Amino acid sequence: MDKFVINGGVPLRGEIATSGSKNSALPALAAALLTEEPVTLHRIPRVRDIRTMQRLLVDIGAKVDVEGESVQLTTPRIVCPEAPYELVKTMRASSLVLGPLVARSGRARVSLPGGCAIGARPINLHIFGLEQLGARIRQSHGYIEAEAPDGLRGAVVHFDRITVTGTEDLMMAAVLAKGETVLRNAAREPEVADLAGLLIKMGAKIEGAGTSTIRIQGVTELGGAAHTIIPDRIEAGTFAIAGAITGGDLTVNGCVPDHIGALLAKLQQVGVEVTQPQSNAVRVRAAGRLRSVDMTTEEYPGFATDLQAQYMALMTQAEGIAIIIETIFENRFMHAQELARMGANIRLDGKQAIVAGPRELTGAGVIASDLRASASLVLAALVARGETVIDRVYHIDRGYEKIEAKLAQVGAKIRRVE
């Protein structure tokens, strides 16, 4: 397994680029199953989860051509409507093929999702929604088996709780269903709106994506399209925090500032100077003391749960006590123990973490437990005294494209050891 070796204490300065969104690219790749015509996607990040999804689509019947950051997918027919456990056990987004497979071929067999060990995944919401659309579903031996031999039919689906992948999955299923489907309490994340944009280019009739109510008029077939994936807001937010925690002057290019508005507002409260030199760039400068500020994770447009671990690392360097409340996942404080090994003063109490600072962090051997937790350890290591060795960085490779190379270009002393 690869490791990162980081020597901290260097302020990050310069410009750093944002890749395409992993969380937007995954459903877009799955959407290509809905048509036999070519679908071309640009700005696809080259990360582990994307490679896993591409291998899955090939097994299902797609022809996948990769050229740099562009991917063309053509699926003349569904050869095997199945997502096997051995292939998708490392990726929680495997459930995204469930809706497209049932809609296109009338059946699907999908392994329950794997990925990060950060809490329960609401796959039951996918199942409930597909049943409302007329699919017959049973669960057996760790798989979800769905059938709709006569096709899906439109319905009103009210999600008991907001689910991003559930909204995306049902939206893809509904575009080929007979009649109108209404999704209520739908996720409003930019990734949902980006997927809707692709589906509309393919011929789908969708209104309201990006709001809590999405209306879909089913069509008989979809065609090919070309689409550029939105920037990765979690990567952009991670880099913004990297500039802040190191006391640097960092410009994050190629992002959508509005997509990380909750984080940028929080950084300003903390005492970081945030400006927008261009419409697609954010400049972060942190020359003075940082102040502790409480934070609660929320669904978009609130503070993203995927930035909670990184924000906790930042709070170890802020003056005062910050209370961080996690409302999305029930097991997402595993990074706190590793941060404590580096000298952080963090106390966990149920769904909240109490962080007292500032604390001088020191280099140590730490282990990445999930994708975003590993990012928080990188951030802590950037400011820690001495050398930090981060093990199991395959977690970070799932969602960040060459993060060590990008950080090194702006001054970080970071290297990958195989």
Please list the active-site residues.
Answer: 116
> Please, where in the chain does CATH 3.65.10.10 lie?
3-18+232-417, 22-228
Residue 388 near residue 3, CB atoms below 8 Å: no
Q: What is the pTM of this model?
A: 0.95
Q: Which long-range contacts (CB under 8 A, 24 or more apart) does 276-279 make?
A: 277/251, 278/253
Max CA pair span of the chain: 64
We find that the CATH architecture of domain 3-18+232-417 is Alpha-beta prism (3.65)
Beta strand segments in 234-280, E? 249-253, 273-275
Beta carbons of 152 and 178 less than 8 angstroms apart: yes
**Residue whose structure tokens are 């093990």:** 391
Residue among 92, 54, 45, 88 at smallest CA distance from 74 = 54
CATH number of 22-228: 3.65.10.10
Residue-by-residue DSSP string for 157-215? EE-SS--HHHHHHHHHHHTTSBSEEEEES----HHHHHHHHHHHHTT-EEE-BTBSEEE
**Alpha carbon of 5 to those of 151, 374, 379, 381, 388: distances in Å?**
53, 13, 12, 9, 6
Distance CA 258, CA 391 (A): 34
Instruction: Provide the residue-wise pLDDT of the chain in tens; the chain has 418 residues.
Output: 899 999 999 999 999 999 999 999 999 999 999 999 999 999 999 999 999 999 999 999 999 999 999 999 999 999 999 999 888 777 777 889 999 999 999 999 998 865 444 345 568 899 999 999 999 999 888 889 999 999 999 999 999 999 999 999 999 999 999 999 999 999 999 999 999 999 999 999 999 999 999 999 999 999 999 999 999 999 999 999 999 999 999 999 999 999 999 999 999 999 999 999 999 999 999 978 999 999 999 999 999 999 999 999 999 999 999 999 999 877 789 899 999 999 999 999 999 999 999 999 999 999 988 887 899 999 999 999 999 999 999 989 989 999 999 999 999 999 999 9
For residue 354, what is the enclosing H or E element? strand 352-357
CA distance 119 to 212: 24
Contacts of 65 (CB under 8 A, 6+ apart): 71, 72, 73
Report the alpha-carbon distance of residue 79 to residue 303 in Å, rounded.
41
Helix axes 48-60, 22-31, angle to 10 degrees: 10
